[in-house]
Amino acid sequence: MLDTEQLNSHYDQLDTLGTADVVRALVDDQTQAVQAVSAVLGDLTRAVDETVTRLARGGRLIYAGAGTSGRLAQLDAAELVPTFSWPAERAVALLAGGRLAMFEAQEGAEDSTDGALQDLAEVELGAGDVVIAVAASGTTPYTVAALRRAREVGALAIGMANNPGTPLLLEADIPLCLHTGAEVIGGSTRLKAGSAQKIALNTFSSAVMVRLGKVYGNLMVDVKASNHKLRERAVMLVMTAAGVSETEARAVLAQADFKVNVAIVSLLRGVSVSEARALLQASGGHVRAAITSTS
């Protein structure tokens, strides 16, 4: 039996506990999610570095999963677009059962290897892409098939699972085993197994974006300022990064169509907005490189 499916004898009387004790048990058990991610920092670092290399050459991030794991992967892909202005067509999330499965469980879809192959064919998976496949069990046929096809075409295959020695990890170029063990509620991998996946996915994609220059210092400088809150955040980011007044930040942002990275490069390099855009294009969108380049 998989570790995530084992029964946790420590909580075998969970239903007899008071509400406060049930809540404490569930929260306390989550600490193991952080520990599980910490245990794979080396592999996670390698996954980030190799992904950055592929994406810098024009590759895409393609997530694949089913059920809870697939929904977490879908969420990670979706958040890259507003947070880092990453092109939506380069953050593709494949979920067993299709988009409907994001909101309504399509449990049978995870058993379809043909479904995975068809989904990958539709997005035209190529050798320059990165596939990150996520499954708590590490045995989900849809997810395993997706990762196997990734390796066949020469794409970077990253596998994330919560059970060691499982097929998904064995198929991966870079296996990420988030070994969280038995859950408080037997078999409910939406608990600490899911938490570990969320932490690892957040860490992975955020680190990738840092390495691609979407962050300056620790500021999110390629955010899409698509509403009032985000426009005000853009002003704060420019003020902080460039050390200018609110008035000056707003003026340059207005010229730069509220593109934070363009405004920062313009102010710190002392160049026009159009020159700042050219510097960013030449640096591949890397803000610090655009600021420090000698061209």
What residues are annotated to the active site?
Answer: 79, 110
User: How far is Cα 186 from Cα 184, in angstroms, rounded to an integer?
Assistant: 6
Q: Which amino acid, residue 136? A: A
By the 8 A CB rule, do 268 and 239 touch?
no
Q: Is the Cβ–Cβ distance between 141 and 111 less than 8 Å?
A: yes
Question: What is the edge-to-edge ordering of all strands in the sheet holding 156-161?
Answer: 91-95, 61-65, 130-135, 156-161, 174-177
CA distances from 94 to 21, 72, 123 (A): 38, 11, 9
**CA 131 – CA 91 distance, rounded (Å):** 10
Q: What are phi and psi of 14, to 5 degrees?
A: -55, -40
Copy the structure tokens of residue 13.
Answer: 């009387």
Best CA proximity match to 4, nearest among 136, 170, 130: 136
Stated as kind and residue range, the H or E segment containing 48 is helix 41-56
User: For 110, which DSSP code?
Assistant: G
Angstrom distance (rounded) from CA 140 to CA 95:
12
- The terminus-to-terminus CA distance of the chain in angstroms comes to 60
Q: Which residues of 226-255 are buried (b: 16+ CB within 10 A; e: fewer)?
A: eeeebeeebbebbbbbbebeeeebbebbeb
